[in-house]
Amino acid sequence: MTTNSLPSIVGNQDTVKINYLEPNLQALQESLYSFLLQLVNIYPPEEALNEFKQLFINCLESGDLYAVPVIQKMVLFNNEDEFHYTLKRSCYILINNWAAKRKHRYIQELINLFTELPVNHTIYSCSELITYQIWLENFVHSQDYQELKKFNYTNNSKTKTHWSDRYANYLLIAQSLDPDKPKEQQEAASKLSRQMKDKYKFELAMYIARSQSTASSPTRYHNPSIFGDEVLRLIKMIVVKRGKFSYENIANIFLKQTQHQTLKQFKKSVQKYLFFSVGNQAIAEIISQILTEKLSLWKVEKDEVNLNKDLLLRACNRLIDFLTTENRHEPSELFILLLSHGHPLTLVIILLKIISICKSTRSHLESRIADLINYYKDKSEDECKWVIHFIEFYNITFAIYAEDVEYNLLKIAKNEAASNSQMNLDIYRVFSQVKADRSTPE
């Protein structure tokens, strides 16, 4: 099918694919979405983008809202919230299609259409056009548009001007899990957050490999963390925990031991599991005491119910809430306690242990991290360095324990004294390997 087989949305109204005479707003919206799906699947990106611009933007410059009957009809329904929802979903229909085809430049151009809206300097004779101008300007200043701009971040590093931009993947995960978002937005957010996560893991693995090779150019792969060369030592500290008593093995043993327990018994067992081998026992005891009080009051009515997959998931989700944010608006008592006393890695390891016994709760955890980012994002980078360090430790730790990247240590010490030192990380080299069944991220 040629691009000419799909007529323009403006111009000859007898051939317009949108039925702007639909009797109600919902029918009009569905007609518009159907048109955009045809548009993005048939037109090349530059022509589809031009049609989108003619539909939503150009009428402001021309001062002629009547040239776009579907928009005029939508304004007449006099529901700004529904218009914003319609415009947002329309954007994500295009974004989903272009992302799948790796046409990222057009996603950026689509988002940039709203940065400088045209202004018609003649006196508006049409009250509907004035209303529409206000609606578009309000959209540009809305949370919806801020979420839309997140889809620029992986494709244009120059747009990362705020510290929270480095962690846009968590905000995207939150979008993908929000049932109030359009399905196209949830899908686009899920795909992009996965792409960003894969890219981070790939870059970290390549940086570690190249940073230990004298034959490799140090500029070929960049360090995706903020820790500089210290990230190598941090990875050694984390990887050295693997082996016979790795987190995965301990988690499997714990699950077998607790599979016939009641919820009340599990509440006690899970704390022993979480704080087993925690380095700083003093802080571990304080956290354990607070957690005991909180857990004992949670779901008391189900204390005598045998543990099942649903209860395990709900218990792990609640543990994560206690350790991050309990109300989704401000950090929890335990989160502040651990980070303000300089224990971000301890918190990350405890969270890793939770995920190790219930992998399904990882999306819940990352959604809570998004809540924390939203809480702190109005503060400067210097004001919340400890929170940023927590997120960085989380990124590195979970990249190491990802299924598609393997990290291993090899002793290189030549003298016996160095080899006998368990804490001498300089005697090790880190080897990372990206498994062949994963494609290299862009």
- 101 shares its domain with 31: yes
- What is the number of other CB atoms lying within 10 angstroms of the CB of residue 113? 14
Report yes or no on 175 lying in a domain.
no
Contact 263, 311 (CB under 8 A): yes
Domain end point (choices 82, 117, 152)? 152
Cβ within 8 Å of residue 167, ≥6 positions away: 369, 373, 391
Say how far apart CA 220 and CA 175 lie, in whole Å: 33
**CB neighbours of residue 313 within 10 Å:** 15
Domain termination residue (choose one: 137, 152, 167): 152
Q: How many domains does the chain have?
A: 2
- The Cβ of residue 41 has, within 10 Å, a number of other Cβ atoms equal to 12
Give the range of the structural domain holding residue 16, as residue numbers without chain letter: 3-152
The pLDDT value recorded for residue 10 is 41
Shared domain check, 406 and 290: yes
Cα separations (Å) of 356 from 188, 223, 351?
Answer: 27, 27, 9
| Same domain, yes or no: 140 and 14 | yes
DSSP-derived 3-state class of residue 33: helix
Looking at the structure, tell me whether residues 393 and 259 fall in a common domain: yes
Count other Cβ atoms within 10 Å, centred on residue 20: 17
Look up the pTM and report it: 0.83
Residue 166: inside a domain: no
Clarify whether residues 119 and 203 are in a common domain.
Answer: no
- Is 161 within the bounds of a domain? no
C-beta neighbour count of 187 within 10 angstroms: 17
Q: Phi and psi of 177, rounded to 5°?
A: -100, 0
Q: In terms of domains, do 402 and 291 share one? A: yes
Query: At residue 18, what are phi and psi to the nearest 5 degrees?
Result: -85, 130
pLDDT, residue 352, reads 94
Residue with tokens 């009515």, as numbered in its chain: 301
- Are residues 115 and 230 both part of a single domain? no
Q: Tell me the C-alpha to C-alpha distance, in Å, between residue 204 and each of 168, 222, 389.
A: 17, 8, 16
Q: Are residues 258 and 379 in the same domain?
A: yes
* Domain end position, chosen among 87, 120, 152: 152
Output the tens digit of pLDDT for each of the chain's 442 residues: 333 434 444 433 334 355 666 678 999 999 999 999 999 999 899 999 999 999 999 888 888 888 888 899 999 999 999 999 999 999 999 999 998 888 989 999 999 999 888 876 565 557 888 899 999 999 999 999 999 988 875 544 444 578 998 999 999 999 999 999 999 999 999 999 998 998 898 888 888 877 776 655 555 668 899 998 888 888 887 777 655 567 888 999 999 999 999 999 999 999 999 988 776 778 888 999 999 999 999 999 999 999 999 999 999 999 999 999 999 999 999 999 999 888 998 999 999 999 999 999 999 999 999 999 999 999 999 999 999 999 999 999 998 886 667 777 776 655 544 444 445 666 667 776 665 554 444 4
Residue 374 lies in a domain: yes
Q: Mark whether 203 and 90 lie in a shared domain.
A: no
Q: Does the residue 42 lie in any domain?
A: yes
Domain match, 60 and 205 both = no
Question: CA-to-CA distance for 37 and 149, rounded, in angstroms?
Answer: 21
Question: How much is the pLDDT for 18?
Answer: 58
* SS3 at position 442: coil
**Crossing angle for the helix pair 168-176 and 362-376, to the nearest 10 degrees:** 120
Q: Is the dihedral of CA 193, 194, 200, 203 positive or negative?
A: negative
Q: Does residue 187 form part of some domain?
A: no
- Largest Cα span, the chain: 89
Read out DSSP for 190-258? Answer: HHHHHHHHHHHHHHHHHHHHHHT-TTS-TTSS---SSSTTHHHHHHHHHHTT-STT-HHHHHHHHHHHH
Q: CA separation (Å) from 81 to 94, 110, 296, 320, 409?
A: 21, 21, 43, 34, 55
Provide the token pair at 26.
């919902």
- Is residue 162 assigned to a domain? no
Q: Are residues 297 and 408 in the same domain?
A: yes
Residues 117 and 208 occupy one common structural domain: no
**Is residue 307 one of the residues assigned to a domain?**
yes
Eight-state DSSP code of residue 77: T
